[in-house]
């Protein structure tokens, strides 16, 4: 039966080539947009370089003070991390790093913008950076406040040139200070904003005294690592208990919020306790997907109704010979799914081409989009959803055709 439906569907598609082109174009173009978006989200969310221990890590990066008429939210101060986060007993390691700052330097009369981040020694143990050259900054170097640095592969090429000579042992100047390169790591895309930097410096070389600010807010964040994934809920509960006992600074505030988040929760956190970043992100993605699919769906519904009206005599004959409305609805939905899957195949091919050009153009450095099983699963779901959405109403309209009127058409 399905084989016959497939033959009928192909014959119908050949009958009115312009309508077929409009239908296939709408489906493939829509699917291309959704697949590229899905590939981008999948890359941002599921790419676990360099935090491959994500399943047993929690990210502490925000603190919020809220009063009756005001709210203040920021990163953590180093003093806050030292006094409260570092006192946690469940984590086996605690990585501390600053947000990245920027400075300009000049090489051969050419200005280079360098993004830098300060990190403690545990940062290199919690995270699994891929070293192209050299090694991480050691605890001894950090304790001694040695002016050493780990740089990204991109910064190596930009600063020292693309001659493939080793960068380890050379010096790089940032903010009028020279640092000796001890390692080169595979570059991160800027979308990994919590870990991204061009150069990483020992936290003890920071120009500002780490414990100078005794307040809660600052420019630092922490990653707490559990012994195993089963300890993560315990680690989260321990931090929640610490926060619950914190004294609230200042009379203008009456609530204090801070969370040990999973990677996704921390990534989309808005900095406003009353507004869930997860809800915002999910709502925005859903509305965008529905909007992108709405217009092609309406177009395809109209095209399908036109096709059905053209086939009214065929429908009348089949009904006269005993075909039930249920059978006819099933046939037309299957035909529409076949059309949708043909458009889906074209959409997948177009998506690969578009991703190739996006990667080649390096619109976001080091963010390489690709098709994988997750993205293809979304493509399959979209095809089925799109096919059913645009085929059910026309099929229902067709099933209600009067036999006599259909035969006269």
Residues 6+ apart with CB under 8 A from 4: none
Count of residues making up the chain: 409
Give the pLDDT confidence score for residue 240 in this predicted structure.
95
Residue 42 has pLDDT above 80, yes or no: yes
Residues 46-64: tens digit of each pLDDT: 888 999 999 999 999 999 9
Average per-residue pLDDT for the chain: 84
Residue 399 has pLDDT above 70, yes or no: no
The residue that leads in pLDDT, 16 or 216, is 216
Burial (CB count <10 Å: 0-12, 13-18, 19+), residue 174: buried
pTM of the model: 0.81
Measure the CA–CA gap between 205 and 248, rounded to whole angstroms.
31
Q: How many CB atoms lie within 10 A of CB 178?
A: 11
Residues 6+ apart with CB under 8 A from 97: 117, 118, 119, 120, 123, 195, 203, 220, 221
Residues 139-191: tens digit of each pLDDT: 999 999 999 999 999 999 999 988 789 999 999 999 889 999 999 999 999 88
Residues 304-331: tens digit of each pLDDT: 666 666 666 666 666 666 667 677 777 7
Give the pLDDT confidence score for residue 16 in this predicted structure.
67
């Amino acid at each position: 039966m399905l084989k016959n439906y497939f033959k009928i569907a192909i014959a119908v598609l050949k009958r009115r080539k312009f309508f077929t082109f409009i239908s296939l174009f709408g489906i493939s173009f829509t699917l291309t947009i959704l697949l590229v978006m899905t590939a981008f989200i999948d890359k941002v969310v599921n790419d676990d370089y360099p935090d491959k221990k994500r399943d047993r890590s929690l990210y502490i990066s925000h603190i919020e003070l809220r009063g009756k008429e005001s709210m203040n939210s920021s990163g953590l101060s180093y003093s806050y991390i030292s006094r409260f986060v570092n006192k946690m007993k469940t984590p086996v390691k605690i990585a501390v790093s600053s947000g990245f700052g920027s400075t300009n330097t000049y090489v051969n009369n050419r200005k280079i913008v360098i993004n830098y981040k300060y990190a403690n020694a545990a940062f290199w143990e919690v995270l699994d950076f891929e070293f192209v050259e050299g090694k991480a900054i050691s605890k001894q170097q950090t304790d001694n406040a040695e002016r050493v640095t780990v740089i990204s592969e991109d910064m190596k090429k930009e600063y020292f040139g693309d001659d493939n000579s080793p960068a380890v042992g050379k010096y790089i100047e940032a903010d009028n200070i020279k640092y000796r390169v001890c390692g080169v790591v595979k570059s991160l895309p800027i979308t990994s904003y919590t870990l991204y930097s061009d150069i990483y410096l020992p936290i003890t070389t920071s120009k500002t005294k780490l414990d100078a600010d005794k307040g809660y807010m600052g420019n630092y964040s922490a990653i707490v690592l559990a012994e195993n994934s089963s300890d993560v809920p315990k680690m989260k509960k321990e931090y929640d208990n610490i926060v619950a006992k914190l004294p609230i600074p200042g009379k203008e505030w009456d609530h204090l919020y801070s969370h040990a988040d999973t990677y996704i929760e921390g990534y989309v956190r808005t900095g406003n306790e009353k507004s869930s970043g997860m809800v915002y992100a999910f709502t925005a993605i859903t509305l965008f997907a529905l909007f992108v699919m709405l217009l092609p769906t309406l177009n395809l519904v109209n095209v399908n109704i036109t096709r059905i009206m053209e086939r009214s005599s065929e429908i009348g004959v089949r009904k006269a010979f005993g075909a039930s409305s249920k059978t006819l609805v099933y046939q037309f939905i299957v035909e529409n799914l076949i059309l949708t899957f043909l458009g889906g195949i074209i959409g997948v091919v177009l998506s690969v081409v578009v991703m190739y050009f996006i990667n080649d153009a390096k619109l976001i450095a080091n963010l390489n989009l690709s098709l994988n099983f997750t993205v293809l699963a979304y493509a399959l779901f979209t095809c089925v959803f799109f096919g059913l959405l645009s085929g059910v109403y026309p099929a229902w309209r067709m099933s209600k055709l009067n036999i006599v009127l259909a035969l006269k058409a």
